[in-house]
Structure 1
Amino acid sequence: MQDSFDLTTIIFLALAVFVIWRLRSVLGTRTGNERPPVMRRAPQAPSPANDSNVVRLDRGPEEAAAPPMGQHDPDRWQGYAEDATPLAAGFDAIAAADGGFDPRVFREGAKSAYEMIVTAFASGDRKSLKDLLSKDVYEGFVSAITEREKRGEKVETTFVSIDKAEYVDAQLRGRTAQVTVRFVSKLITATKDQTGAVIDGDSTKVVDVTDVWTFAREAGSRDPNWKLVATEAGH
């Protein structure tokens, strides 16, 4: 797998072999299609945001209840993390700090957020991205969009499916909960120049993409937003 990151124009991720997180964890085989920028900064706590574009990742219709203190259920994270693993310990820490955490609901919400962010980046929808990304990640995405617009290029992306969304890591850093998910998806995407000619990707071909993304939120906060704080090309 090979990643290409162009700092002066836009970020193109190219993979010759099947790869989503190295967010692959987040996208599969790279074929030169334009992707959201790869942000390799260490995950940071998200900034507060308005509720205009909230993706609730951790709660269903009713708040999930934390397991009774002192009780250990080896099957508590069944289907998401094996008992006595770092991932299970991460879930335990997050659930203890925020009883509303539910890995089943979070995964479905993360899948929705992933699709929203990828399509918003392709269309240049800054407003949608702002409430879903941390400040640093947002600035990187907007920089890539702006450079693309200066060149008169447009990206057409069609989401075909998300074939897999699996947990890679979960941690509680201070009061900040961080959850990392590897996405494997199928997309149709092409970048066109000012004349409408395809200069990257293929508007008729479905490609496999793998990405590893990390979401973060302050545990117990009234703000329901989980922000994307780090992305990585996966394999």
Structure 2
Amino acid sequence: IEGGPDQDITDHAEEGSDTAKALASMKQREPSFEVGGFLSGARSAYEFILMGFERGELAEIKPYISDEVYEVFAQVVEAREKKGLKVEAEFIGVREVSIHSAEFHAASGTAEIAMKFIGELTSVVRDSTGEIVEGKEGKVKTQKDIWTFEREMGVNDPNWILVATGE
């Protein structure tokens, strides 16, 4: 309805909330931005980045994560390697994807969207002899994460970068 609430926003954030206002500001700065499309992309990015980290294949995910996140991931991967540990993980799926919060910084045009993910995967950690030291083969575990993605709105680069992880 012309002049009514933007359903692309209100489907994902409470009308009038700070998150909804931030999303509206993002759309004002970049009219082609769609919240629903962002959520779809974030879901794909979650699987791609999470599994790249689990496998220790950081080179393939580096373009999509900030230097700070990369450093943390690299330290964890390096510590695993020093201990001779190998992660075997399989992504099952995402049970929930929702916007946790959003901020828009008008002066810089920078947008931040914190996403809540509840994913399911199987994961075991093996030592250098192949013995399982963590996890149980074939057992699906639930992973809950809050990840924050950032990008400058209104520029040609459409990629969002993972700038923070947490739970």
TM-score between the two structures when normalised by the length of structure 1? 0.66
Q: In the alignment, residue 29 of structure 2 is paired with which amino acid?
A: A
Distance change >3 Å, CA 75–CA 172, structure 1 → 2: closer
Tell me the CA shift for residue 220 of structure 1: 1.4
Residue 84 of structure 1 corresponds to: 16
Are 1:153 and 2:92 an aligned pair?
no
Matches within 5 A, 1:115-126: 115-126=47-58
Residue 41 of structure 2 corresponds to: 109
Aligned residues: 163
- In 2, the alpha carbon distance for the partners of 1:148 and 1:82 equals 42
Are 1:203 and 2:134 an aligned pair?
no
Deviations 1:7-59 (A, max 9, x none): xxxxxxxxxxxxxxxxxxxxxxxxxxxxxxxxxxxxxxxxxxxxxxxxxxxxx
Are 1:138 and 2:70 an aligned pair?
yes
- In 1, the alpha carbon distance for the partners of 2:115 and 2:20 equals 14
Residue 128 of structure 2 corresponds to: 194
Higher strand residue share:
2
Tell me the CA shift for residue 87 of structure 1: 1.3
Q: Give the aligned CA root-mean-square deviation in angstroms.
A: 1.3
**Residue ranges of structure 2 left out of the alignment (5+ in a row):** none
Q: In the alignment, residue 144 of structure 1 is paired with which amino acid?
A: V
Matches within 5 A, 1:165-176: 165-173=97-105, 174-176=108-110
Higher helix residue share:
2
Are 1:73 and 2:4 an aligned pair?
yes
Q: Does the CA contact (< 8 Å) of 1:214 and 1:231 recur in 2? A: yes
- In 2, the alpha carbon distance for the partners of 1:118 and 1:226 equals 15
Q: Does the CA contact (< 8 Å) of 2:10 and 2:20 recur in 1? A: no
Tell me the CA shift for residue 72 of structure 1: 4.2
Residue 231 of structure 1 corresponds to: 165
User: Following TM superposition, where does structure 1 have runs of at least 4 consecutive aligned residues deviating by more than 4 angstroms?
Assistant: none
- In 1, the alpha carbon distance for the partners of 2:5 and 2:31 equals 18
Tell me the CA shift for residue 159 of structure 1: 0.8
Q: In the alignment, residue 109 of structure 2 is paired with which amino acid?
A: R
- In 2, the alpha carbon distance for the partners of 1:132 and 1:75 equals 29
TM-score between the two structures when normalised by the length of structure 2? 0.92
- In 1, the alpha carbon distance for the partners of 2:6 and 2:55 equals 42
Q: Does the CA contact (< 8 Å) of 1:93 and 1:171 recur in 2? A: no
Mean alpha-carbon deviation: is it higher for 111-120 or for 167-176? 167-176
- In 2, the alpha carbon distance for the partners of 1:101 and 1:193 equals 46
Between the aligned residues of both structures, percent identity stands at: 34
Deviations 1:170-197 (A, max 9, x none): 1112321111110011111111110111
